[in-house]
Amino acid sequence: MKIRPEQLSSTLANQLDSLYFVFGPELLLIEQSLTQIKTTAKEQGFDDKVSFEVDGNFQWDQIVAEISAVSLFSPKRIIECRLKTGKIGVKGSKALTEIASSLPSDILLIISTGKLDMNQQKSKWFKTLEQNGGVIQHWEVQSDHLVGWIANHMAALGLEANPEVAQSIAFCTEGNLLASMQEIQKLQMAYPDGKIDAQAYQAQINQQSKYTIYGLIDAALLGDGNQVLKIYETLRDDSAMPIQLSNSLYREINSIIGMSIELQQVKQVDTVLQSHRVWNKRKPIIASVLKRHPYQRLQKLLLSLGRIDRSIKGMDNLMVHDELRMLLLTLAGKNQWAQ
């Protein structure tokens, strides 16, 4: 049975099924649904839990053995399986189909994974899960719905409705739901009465955003080489920075390349920005880089990022910090390669 995420609470209040499958691209949304299910299960006496991380080498007989075992702690048990991908192979498909079809009443099986393609959703194992339990699919929160999502979660935590604050969080977290939720929780701690000093908060978050990886990337996109160097030096000592910066740059440049290709046909920057749902505050930033860099140069930057990523993983021998700084300056148009 398919269950819409917003219906999960009422469905659980009426009945707890023996099997739930939660999937989608947004980890935070999946975790929220899993928490709801496990909380309801605990209230109904499911006090014992065993978890499995399922990859391509997983031995499915472990789950069969766990189902057959008698618990010393609780007659009702949760077995949680987190699939690393939806590609579980022939053996996995057969095993999961058999397990889902014959669950005893004292077992609650909870399965979760990331995004599944349509072929995976048409597979026999998926259909078996759908027939024998509840299937909850989450979708990405699109940029034009993100402000509303943030505002709803602010209200749920007792914070007053403030569209400007919600917009600021959405802009600064770049659509990262986990980061957005963390900002909302910070607000709850800072303003326990729910009344937000919007002016003070926006000044604070704008200042913070300048010295993050996102602020660094925006400085490069705007062509501000001095700000790039200043922020880069403040972040350099963070051991996690290279991989985070490399990943964020790859997503950003790859997205801009798509806009650049479209711009060659449409010829109107505003039209392209609108079709790609670019935030209003970011439109001048993206427009700047689209005017400054042709498609070929952006593609070359993306290839350079690929080699930087291999070097981070020890598969190449570039000086990662130097190469990242040079790439950012190139993106800003401040070295010979970008001229």
Same domain, 119 and 16: yes
- pLDDT reported for residue 71: 59
Residue 217 lies in a domain: no
Domain presence at residue 216 = no
DSSP reduced 3-state for 268: coil
Q: Does some domain include residue 220?
A: no
170/257 same-domain check: no
Question: Is the pLDDT confidence value at 210 over 70?
Answer: no
Residue 131 CA to residue 29 CA, distance in Å, equals 23
* Model pLDDT, residue 208: 63
Q: How many CA atoms lie within 13 A of 311 on its CB side?
A: 16
User: 222 in a domain, yes or no?
Assistant: no
**Residues of the chain above pLDDT 70, percent:** 95
How confident is the model over 134-179, as pLDDT tens digits? 999 998 887 778 888 999 999 989 999 788 888 888 877 767 788 8
Query: Widest CA span of the chain, in angstroms?
Result: 71
The pTM for the full model equals 0.61
Q: Are residues 133 and 150 in the same domain?
A: no
What's the one-letter identity of residue 308?
Answer: I
| Same structural domain, 13 and 120 | yes
Interval 35-65: pLDDT, tens: 999 999 999 999 889 999 998 789 999 998 8
Strands, DSSP E only, in 17-116? 19-23, 48-54, 77-83, 107-113
Instruction: Domain count for the chain, please give it.
Output: 3
| CB 51 within 8 Å of CB 82 | yes
- In the sheet that holds 48-54, the strands lie side by side as 48-54, 77-83, 107-113, 19-23, 134-137
Closest CA to 146 of 175, 117, 109, 125: 175
Average pLDDT, the chain: 88
Q: Which domain holds residue 78?
A: 5-137
Q: Are 44 and 64 members of one domain?
A: yes
**Strand 19-23 with 48-54, pairing:** unpaired
Residues 152 and 199 in one domain: yes
What amino acid is encoded at 318 in this protein? L
Q: Answer for the pair 130, 2: CB distance below 8 angstroms, yes or no.
A: yes
Which residues lie closer than 8 Å to 290 by C-beta, 6 or more apart?
256, 259, 260, 263, 269, 272
Give the separation between CA 124 and CA 184, rounded to whole angstroms: 40
User: How do residues 214-251 score in pLDDT, each as one tens digit?
Assistant: 888 988 999 999 989 988 998 888 887 898 899 889 98
The domain boundary residue, chosen from 137, 165, 187: 137
Do 133 and 149 reside in the same domain of the chain?
A: no
